[in-house]
Amino acid sequence: MRLISPTGEQLGIRPLPEALALAKEQDLDLVEVADKANPPVCRIMNYSKYKYEQGQKAKESRRKSSNTSVKEMKYRPKIGQGDFDTKTRKVEEFLSEGHKVKVTIMFRGREMQHPELGRHILDRVIETVSHVALVEAYPKQDGRNMVMVLGPDKKAQAVKKAPRSRSDSAATGENPVVEVEEPAVAAPAAAPPVAG
């Protein structure tokens, strides 16, 4: 078998008893890492530490994979301005957390005769959250509801997380720390002697 040391250096082709003896000398395990190779490749390593590290990598990759869910926010065609602002702020919050948002306009009775009212509200929502959202499914009538799906805008979130420069802080009204060098003040010239 081809043997690899714990540091990753090639030890050449060795018989199994010799490889086991080398691993035992170092108080480590002999692990087959490529059984399909000819000859098979084995590595001397601490197998329990290796399993632990693999588990940590798997856990980290699961944590990094985005767990997006679809949140829903319901509006009515005759919604008041205060309610509209509150619900739209919540939609914006969901989007900034990375969730998709299904926006639903619920029609009742004769409101079904005026779908343009629902479309107008959805247009206002899009306009309000356009800095953090992309429209994934455009508004469509679904029975007594009008539905639209918004998704988070990854590019806008990346820009938001980037460190701000001085020009950004000046635009937001913050006072950046700026070092100002005091100008040198010349000593006053001595008055000429008065002849008497």
Are 61 and 22 within 8 A, CB to CB? no
Please determine, looking at this structure, whether the domain spanning 2-64 carries the CATH number 3.10.20.80.
yes
Token pair recorded at residue 43: 């590595």
Bridge-based pairing state of the strands 2-4 and 10-13: antiparallel
pLDDT score at 105: 93
pLDDT score at 178: 47
pLDDT score at 190: 55
Fold designation for 70-156: Translation Initiation Factor IF3 (3.30.110)
Residues in CB range of 126: below 8 A, 6 or more apart? 133, 135, 148, 150
How many helices, marked H, and strands, marked E, lie in the chain?
6, 8
Instruction: Provide the residue ranges of all domains of the chain, joining segments of one domain with +.
Output: 2-64, 70-156
pLDDT tens digits along 69-106: 888 999 999 999 999 999 999 999 988 888 889 999 99
Token pair recorded at residue 172: 């937001």
Q: Look up the pTM and report it.
A: 0.48
In the predicted structure, residue 140 carries a pLDDT above the cut 60: yes
